[in-house]
Amino acid sequence: MAAPPLLFLRDVKLTFGATPLLTAASLSVGFGDRITLVGRNGSGKSTLLKIAGGEIEADGGEIFVQPGATVRYLPQEPDLSAYASTLAYVEAGLGPGDDPYRATYLLECLGLTGTETPASLSGGEARRAALARVLAPEPDILLLDEPTNHLDLPAIEWLEGELKSLRSALVLISHDRRFLQNLSRTTVWLDRGITRTLGRGFLHFEAWRDQVFEEEERDQQKLDKKIQAEEHWMRYGVTARRKRNVRRVDLLADLRRAKREHRGPTGAVKLAASEADTSSKLVAEAKRVSKRFGDRSIVEDFSIRIGRGDRVGIVGPNGAGKTTLLKLLTGELEPDAGTIRRGETLDMQVLDQRRASLDPAWTLSEALTDGKGDSVVINGQSKHVIGYMKDFLFSPEQARTPIGALSGGERGRVMLARALAKPSNLLVLDEPTNDLDLETLDLLEELLSDYTGTVLLVSHDRDFLDRVATSVIMSEGDGHWTEYAGGYSDMVAQRGAGVAARALAAAEAKPAPATSRPAERAETRAKLTFKDKHALETLPKTIAALEAKIAAERKRLDDPGLYGRDPAAFEKAVAALGKLAEDLAAAEEEWLRLEMLREELGG
């Protein structure tokens, strides 16, 4: 019998105003689970995660957390204002017995020193500090809401490795397909207030979702036919006994009620780009271009030729100069050396990552029409702004909503709507995938595939780059950039390493810090000590004994009535299981370290 879950939610309900957001949402998290929670923007994913993390209360349903189980929740917008520094914020999340060294280690891995004051942090830096805070205690359950937002490729790939190494159960919300594919083993789909569970990872989700929609459509067609048959009987059927007639009338009423109450799938965003006249064959040609800011070289001796119809991705760690390179290619910045020739008849539209062109005081209607009337012109066709809003999943009631009151995902859709409404033959997209749901990303990918113009794209989304880019410009460090044919995976295959791999290699080349533990310095010794040899011989037996004890404790916890009979014994067993798991992990790591050292020293 399987061990009881650490946390479960059953038939959770929550209503905002008159609109039910969650009607029958369930979630079960066991030891070591890897769960992704998926659904459209606005479906209630973050709300369900907050309920699981104890951040908000549900209107109804059953919620249970195993006594003694530790849960950490990563919010989308962390608040550090009550702390003097990022290190103080992270350390405040540690529990009794947690290793304080991990707070410093994780902050360094995420590019922070620990001395930063919260008031000086950008949104991305605050998010990195929040990640360090939830990871440091190595809790039983990690609830992560968009953990890759504002992270660059090295940080995303580092985070993947860190999460894979943890024994914590994970529940993830993310728009990063590759991240979900690499980490998830179970998929929970929140759709129209209810959850469905697939016992496989995200890689299999989209095919399953489409199958569910097809079955649902067939069921609705059967319902329509049944209603038609009953209505025909009502009009033309031979009168039978009164009781039988009443039963048929009630049946028809029930069928009509089911038809009314059925909520179909949420509509899809309808994306269509207004295309200008075809640009010249040459879009941009850079020859030996260089750009410096002070003593720092951002672009050094770079050359490239971009033709009509190319889709060029630009990748690299934060601070490498991706946006600067983009501005050089588009003419917003001039180079210090070298030349850039641009094509004739270029009509450029820009989607910037900071949504800087959106005035928060605008209403949604004004943002889409630039305050000029109530119509939008798409490919020469005039369309009322309300209809255009519906194409991007906005309701008519939101027409007068200020931009500043919209969510991040909604502002992302507004930027897309504005950029695609204006004629262009060159689209410049700086982090276009931020805050967009998976279905909108699918449609954006399809639109870019069909777009006859040229696309310049800065993104940290590996899957999006693979699907869209025809070539990738990669930061090699010190202002040097190289173009590779194909998407991100093709670039990695050609280089033999990705962004994260290069960053890690640089870090490994640095001397070990003074705080390194004796176990980390032991690898520099010339030979194994007697203690090391003895440990190599005895650790396998220790590991086997720990595994046997863990199996015994799990067998005790398999008893469904244990908690009811003896709560103290149940809590003791849970605590013992956690301690044994920690001891096993430490023993396995020590054996692996010594075995690698033995092989390095030639046996």
CA angle 370, 373, 377 (to 5 degrees): 70
- Report the 10 Å Cβ neighbour count for 261: 7
To the question of whether residue 95 is assigned a binding role by annotation, the answer is no
To the question of whether residue 46 is assigned a binding role by annotation, the answer is yes
In whole angstroms, give the CA distance from residue 290 to residue 297: 8
To the question of whether residue 294 is assigned a binding role by annotation, the answer is no
To the question of whether residue 197 is assigned a binding role by annotation, the answer is no
Residue with tokens 């037996």: 541
To the question of whether residue 45 is assigned a binding role by annotation, the answer is yes
Q: What is the dihedral of CA 330, 334, 337, 341, to 10 degrees?
A: 40
Tokens of 225: 């036919």
In whole angstroms, give the CA distance from residue 121 to residue 140: 29
Tokens of 215: 């079955």
To the question of whether residue 321 is assigned a binding role by annotation, the answer is yes
To the question of whether residue 97 is assigned a binding role by annotation, the answer is no
To the question of whether residue 196 is assigned a binding role by annotation, the answer is no
In whole angstroms, give the CA distance from residue 455 to residue 451: 9
Of 164, 160, 154, 157, residue with least CA distance to 506: 154
Residue-by-residue DSSP string for 47-99: HHHHHHTTSS--SEEEEEE-TT--EEEE-SS---TT-SSHHHHHHTT--TT--
Q: Which residues pair with 350 in a beta bridge?
A: 428
What is the CA 532 to chain-centroid distance, rounded? 43
Q: Is-contact 435 353, C-beta < 8 A?
A: no
To the question of whether residue 118 is assigned a binding role by annotation, the answer is no
Of 589, 274, 216, 313, residue with least CA distance to 453: 274
Non-local CB neighbours of 583 within 8 Å, separated by 6+ positions: 546
To the question of whether residue 41 is assigned a binding role by annotation, the answer is yes
Q: Is-contact 447 272, C-beta < 8 A?
A: yes
To the question of whether residue 363 is assigned a binding role by annotation, the answer is no
To the question of whether residue 317 is assigned a binding role by annotation, the answer is yes
Q: Which residues are annotated as a binding site for ATP?
A: 39-46, 316-323
Q: Which residues are annotated as a binding site?
A: 39-46, 316-323
